[in-house]
Amino acid sequence: MRYAAHRLAQAVPVFFATTFVIYAMVFVLPGDPILALAGDKPVPDQVLDVMRERYHLNDPLLVQYGRYMLGLLHGDLGETFTGQPVSELLQDRWGVTAQLAATAWIFELAVGIALGVVAGLRRGGVADTAVLAGTTFVIAAPVFVVGYTAQIVFGLNLGLFPTAGTDEGWPGSYLLPGMVLGSFGLAYVARLTRTALVENLRSDYVRTATAKGMRRRRVVGVHALRNSLIPVVTFLGVDFGNLMAGAVVTEGIFNLPGIGQQVFQSIQLQEGPVVVGVTTVLVMIFIAANLAVDLLYGLLDPRIRRARA
């Protein structure tokens, strides 16, 4: 319990500092958003003043940030310069990104651990070499290269998956993008599982279990694998935040109307409120995931709990 409180106390200032850094970065975006809104037409000074006043653009940065955080407490993410609430704008889009990230995450978890176990059990074998080579390649190839290749091969040439959009709903439309998005994490999960399993299979407690006459399936499945999954759990937890934030590229390739696409457009249109709103929520997810992992880690391995508290 003390450990949990300690970690929570650390996470709170980090949350505020991170969101403030993002807020400040967006704030220094050059150009006047009110002028940009009007396009080529001249804007009367009076209108400019009223709009600036309405969106509190004249206040010091810290005051603006404070006001924003207060609004966030009530679930208010602010509104765009055209008067639309940011939360409304993002409502439908969160679902798309969450479905995409969840698909990728499940893919990473299931296939990644399976590949890692297969490779780790027969170290140096054909399967092991194939998994090592394959994962290195996937880690090295940038996600958009993987994405386009998958789109051409599986979508266009083989016709196995739809190439763009969300018409087929979940899971049909999300399978291929999910696999592309999750491919990087999958490679990490497989490698982490493999390395940990290889190390644990050589440990004393595994030898003891085998010596007692326990079946191989139980030795590997219950004893070795459970300990091997500790670093994997850490990675999977942290990676969920990464998947949500990293969806920008994948959503672009497969034309999925998620938050990544929205925020990318908003950055280029200088829609500061949308950028800050989305990034703040992403940071919250990221920090919460980190925190959850830290606590889970403490549960899985009592040594860590005692050492850190």
Partner 1 sequence: MLARDAWREMRGRVVFWLSAVVLAVAVAMAAVPGVFAAMGPNEGCDLRMSKKGPASGAVFGYDLQGCDYWSQIVHGTRASIMIGIAVTVAALAIAVVLGLLGGYYGGLLDALISRVTDVFFGIPFVLGATVVLVAFPDHGIWAMTSVLVLLGWTTMTRLMRGQVIAVRNMDFVEAARMLGASDRRIMFRHILPNAIAPVFVVAMLNVGNVIAGEATLDYLGVGLQYPDVSWGLQLNVAQTFFAEYPHLLVFPALFLTAAVLSFLTLGDVVRDALDPRLR
**Interface positions with partner 1 (CB under 8 A):** 10, 13-15, 17-18, 21-22, 25-26, 28-30, 136-137, 139-145, 148-149, 152, 156, 195, 198-199, 241-242, 245-246, 248-249, 252-253, 263-264, 267-268, 270, 275, 278-279, 282-283, 286-287, 290
Assess contact for 267 and 276: CB atoms under 8 A: no
Cβ closer to partner 1: 113 or 259?
A: 259
| Of 202 and 218, CB closest to partner 1 | 202
Q: Closer CB to partner 1, residue 111 or residue 139?
A: 139
- Rounded least distance, CB 300 to partner 1, Å: 19
Please report how close the Cβ of residue 214 comes to partner 1 at its closest, in angstroms: 26
- Report the nearest approach of partner 1 to the CB of residue 121 (Å): 16
SS3 for 203-214 is CHHHHHHHHCCC
Q: How far is the CB of 149 from partner 1 (least distance, A)?
A: 8
User: Least distance from C-beta 221 to partner 1, angstroms?
Assistant: 23
CA distance 171 to 168: 8
Amino acid at 266: S
Q: Is 299 exposed, middle or buried (0-12, 13-18, 19+ CB in 10 A)?
A: exposed
Evaluate whether 194 touches 131 at the Cβ level (below 8 Å). Answer: yes
CB of 50 to partner 1, least distance (A): 26
Between residues 35 and 214, which has the closer beta carbon with respect to partner 1?
A: 35
Backbone angles phi and psi of 85, in degrees to 5: -65, 140
Structure tokens at 259: 């938050």
Residue 283 C-beta: closest distance to partner 1, Å? 5
Q: Which is nearer to partner 1, 170 or 264 (CB)?
A: 264
φ/ψ of residue 78, rounded to 5: 85, 180
Q: Do residues 48 and 81 lie in contact, with contact meaning Cβ atoms separated by under 8 Å?
A: no
Cα gap 150→145, rounded to integer Å: 8
Taking the least distance from each CB to partner 1, the nearer of 16 and 222 is 16
Residue closer to partner 1, measured from CB, 195 or 214: 195
φ, ψ dihedrals at 79, nearest 5°: -130, 155
Alpha carbon 22 to its chain's center: 17
Q: Work out how close the CB of 56 gets to partner 1 at its nearest, in angstroms, rounded to a whole number.
A: 20
Amino acid at 234: T
Q: How many CB atoms neighbour CB 67 within 10 A?
A: 13
- The answer to whether 280 and 19 have CB atoms below 8 angstroms apart is yes
CB closer to partner 1 out of 112 and 246: 246
